[in-house]
């Protein structure tokens, strides 16, 4: 339950970025704003990374994790935000918030096709319900042109890749991943933006963009990574799909946009879809290969049976540890410990 709450909070923080970003785009061009938002994200998670005792070191990163981090930075930090902000320039805040549900469909499809993310009947039913909610929300949004749709759709695909790649990075902590994504992607986009046109906005706008980045990107991304490592990217993304609805609600409050009956109906459908999806957890006999990594964990989940030379407090902690090979059966999601193949649809009392 705690991972669900964490994912909801992540969605709320990110949802706030759409209407606030629309306001900031009146004075800041997309590349500059994208750069400032992600630099703010790096600033926001830096104290947490230092508190974890890891600092800015990348720790035990093998070649696979370096490639995942590079892909997450490129797709999720550099390309995705810029496409979204260009789309936000063309369309209303509420409309763009609605179309962001396309990220769910992209994450689910990529998970099934490329990332060993098993989805059963109820899982696909939940995905279909969420996609239908997105269609309902967009039904009366005739003002969104094809260019805006392509831009927001492209951003959704980029973040679909990002969701899976960050969920699989296990050599560094979520805050470290967020820091480096924010710093590198933010500097790249800011430099591109400044090379296109000089910075002409008031300094308070610069500070405002950084603050939005701290909360709506830094805290949000870090919380999402933590949830995705325990729930799997697709299921975490189902919860994160509520972010557009938070965006619509804030658009009504901040920008005076109207909340329609279709939007209320779609919100109810999304809630039902989330309940349906979480019936999709499955149980079957599976093997665990030897694994060596670092991530936030506790010792009562059946997977972390290693000993500590020193006495540690109960609860979650982070350090480099080894997993011995083993095999067992229990209900699970496709988290960082359950990326195994499914030759046949796994049997389960949940599906």
Can you say whether the dihedral through the CA atoms of 309, 315, 318, 323 is positive or negative? positive
* Confidence band for 350, pLDDT divided at 50, 70 and 90: very low
Q: Rounded to whole angstroms, how far apart are CA atoms 244 and 17? A: 10
* Confidence band for 280, pLDDT divided at 50, 70 and 90: low
- The domains of the chain are located at 2-282
* pLDDT exceeds cutoff 50 at 348: no
pLDDT of 254: 85
* pLDDT exceeds cutoff 80 at 108: no
Q: Rounded to whole angstroms, how far apart are CA atoms 233 and 225? A: 9
pTM above 0.75, yes or no: no
CB distance 280 to 350 below 8 Å: yes
pLDDT of 263: 74
* pLDDT exceeds cutoff 90 at 147: no
Q: How far apart are the first and last CA of the chain?
A: 20
* pLDDT exceeds cutoff 70 at 77: yes
pLDDT of 102: 77
Q: Rounded to whole angstroms, how far apart are CA atoms 172 and 218? A: 16
* Confidence band for 2, pLDDT divided at 50, 70 and 90: confident
Token pair belonging to 128: 């279909």
């Amino acid at each position: 339950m705690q991972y669900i709450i964490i994912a909801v909070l992540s969605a709320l923080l990110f949802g706030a970025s759409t209407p606030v970003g629309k306001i900031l785009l009146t004075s800041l061009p997309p590349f500059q704003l994208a750069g400032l938002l992600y630099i703010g994200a790096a600033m926001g998670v830096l104290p947490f990374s230092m508190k974890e005792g890891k600092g800015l070191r990348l720790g035990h990163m093998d070649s696979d994790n370096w490639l995942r981090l590079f892909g997450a930075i490129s797709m999720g930090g550099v390309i995705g935000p810029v496409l979204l902000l260009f789309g936000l320039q063309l369309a209303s805040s509420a409309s763009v918030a609605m179309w962001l549900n396309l990220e769910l469909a992209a994450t689910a499809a990529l998970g099934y096709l490329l990332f060993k993310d098993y989805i059963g009947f109820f899982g696909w039913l939940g995905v279909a319900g969420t996609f239908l909610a997105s269609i309902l929300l967009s039904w009366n949004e005739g003002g969104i042109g094809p260019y805006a749709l392509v831009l927001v759709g492209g951003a959704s695909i980029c973040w679909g890749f990002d969701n899976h790649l960050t969920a699989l990075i296990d050599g560094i902590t979520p805050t470290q991943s967020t820091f480096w994504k924010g710093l590198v992607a933010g500097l790249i986009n800011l430099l591109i933006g400044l090379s296109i046109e000089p910075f002409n906005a008031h300094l308070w706008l610069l500070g405002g963009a950084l603050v939005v980045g701290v909360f709506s990107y830094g805290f949000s991304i870090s919380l999402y990574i933590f949830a995705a490592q325990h729930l799997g990217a697709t299921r975490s993304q189902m919860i994160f799909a509520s972010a557009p609805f938070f965006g619509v609600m804030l658009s009504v409050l901040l920008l005076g946009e109207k909340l329609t009956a279709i939007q209320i109906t779609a919100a109810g459908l999304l809630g039902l879809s989330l309940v349906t999806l979480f019936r999709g957890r499955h149980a079957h006999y599976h093997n665990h290969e030897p694994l060596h990594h670092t991530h936030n964990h506790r010792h009562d989940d059946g997977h972390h049976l290693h000993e500590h030379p020193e006495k540690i407090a109960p609860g979650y902690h982070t350090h480099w540890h080894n997993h011995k090979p083993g095999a067992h059966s229990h209900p699970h999601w496709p988290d960082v410990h359950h990326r195994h193949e499914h030759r046949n649809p796994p049997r389960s009392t949940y599906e």
